[in-house]
Chain A
Amino acid sequence: MLFNRHLVFLYVTLAVSVGYFISALSLGAPTSDGGLTPSFFPILVGGAAIVFAGILIVQKLREGADAAATEGPRSYTHLWVGAAIFAYIVAFKPLGYFLSSGLFVFALIVIFSSFEKLVIKAAISAVITGVAYVMFQQLFGVRLPTLWG
Chain B
Amino acid sequence: MDFILLVINSFSLLLDPFNLTYVILGFVIGTIFAAIPGLTATLAMALLLPLTYTLNVETALMACASIYMAGMCGGSITATTINIPGAPSSMMTALDGYPMQQQGKGALALGHAALGSMFGGAVGALLLIAVAPFVAELSLLVKTTGKFSLLAFALIVVVIAQRGRIPQAGLAACIGLMLATVGLDAMEPITRFTYGYSNLTAGIDLMPVIIGTFAIAEVLMQAASSRDISAAAAAAEKVRIRRRDFLPPLSDIRKIGFGCYFKSCLIGYFVGTLPGAGGSMGSFLAYTEAVRTSDAPETFGKGNPKGIAASESANNAVCGGAMVPMLTFGIPGDPITAIMLGVLVINGIQPGPQLMSDQAGLIAPMLAALLFSAVVLIPLTLYLIGPYFIRIVSVRKDVLYAVIALLAVVGSYVATYSTFQMFMALGMGVLAFYLRRNGFPVITMLLGYILGPNLEEFLRRSLALSNGDPTTFFTNPDSLFFVVLTLVFVYFLVIRKPADKPAPAEAG
Q: Which residues of A contact B (CB under 8 A)?
A: 6, 9-10, 13, 17, 20, 23-24, 27, 31, 34-38, 40-42, 45-46, 48-49, 52-53, 55-56, 59, 72-73, 75, 77-78, 80-82, 84-86, 88-90, 92-93, 97, 101, 104-105, 108-113, 121, 124-125, 128-129, 132, 136, 140-144
* B433 in contact with A59 (CB, 8 Å): no
* B407 in contact with A132 (CB, 8 Å): yes
Q: How far is the CA of A88 from the CA of B220 in the complex (A)?
A: 15
* B190 in contact with A27 (CB, 8 Å): yes
Within 8 A of A (CB), among B5-59: 50-51, 53-54
Assess whether B167 is interfacial by the CB under 8 Å rule.
Answer: yes
Q: How far is the CA of A125 from the CA of B222 in the complex (A)?
A: 19
Residues of B within 8 Å of A128, CB to CB, are 399, 402-403, 406
* A108 in contact with B423 (CB, 8 Å): no
Assess whether B205 is interfacial by the CB under 8 Å rule.
Answer: no
Q: Which residues of B contact A (CB under 8 A)?
A: 50-51, 53-54, 167-168, 170-171, 174-175, 177-178, 181, 185, 187-188, 190, 192-193, 216, 219-226, 396-399, 401-403, 405-407, 409-410, 413-414, 417, 419, 422-423, 426, 429-430, 433-434, 437-438, 455-456, 459-460, 463-464, 467-468
Q: How far is the CA of A53 from the CA of B168 in the complex (A)?
A: 8
* A85 in contact with B171 (CB, 8 Å): no
Set B403, B433, B459, B467: member contacting A41, Cβ < 8 A: B459
Residues of B within 8 Å of A55, CB to CB, are 167
Answer whether A140 and B51 are a contact pair too, CB < 8 Å, given A20-B178, A49-B174, A132-B407.
Answer: yes
Closest to A105 in B: B402
Residues of B within 8 Å of A20, CB to CB, are 178, 193
Q: List 29 A-B contacts (CB under 8 A).
A: A9-B437, A20-B178, A34-B468, A35-B464, A36-B459, A41-B177, A42-B178, A45-B178, A46-B174, A49-B175, A59-B167, A75-B224, A77-B223, A78-B220, A78-B224, A85-B405, A85-B426, A101-B410, A111-B223, A112-B401, A121-B398, A129-B406, A132-B403, A132-B410, A136-B410, A136-B414, A142-B50, A142-B53, A143-B417
Closest to A50 in B: B174
Given A13-B171, A36-B468, 9 additional A-B pairs, CB 8 A: A9-B437, A34-B467, A36-B464, A38-B185, A42-B192, A45-B181, A53-B171, A89-B423, A140-B414
Closest to B463 in A: A36
Closest to A74 in B: B224
Set B413, B433, B455, B464: member contacting A78, Cβ < 8 A: B433
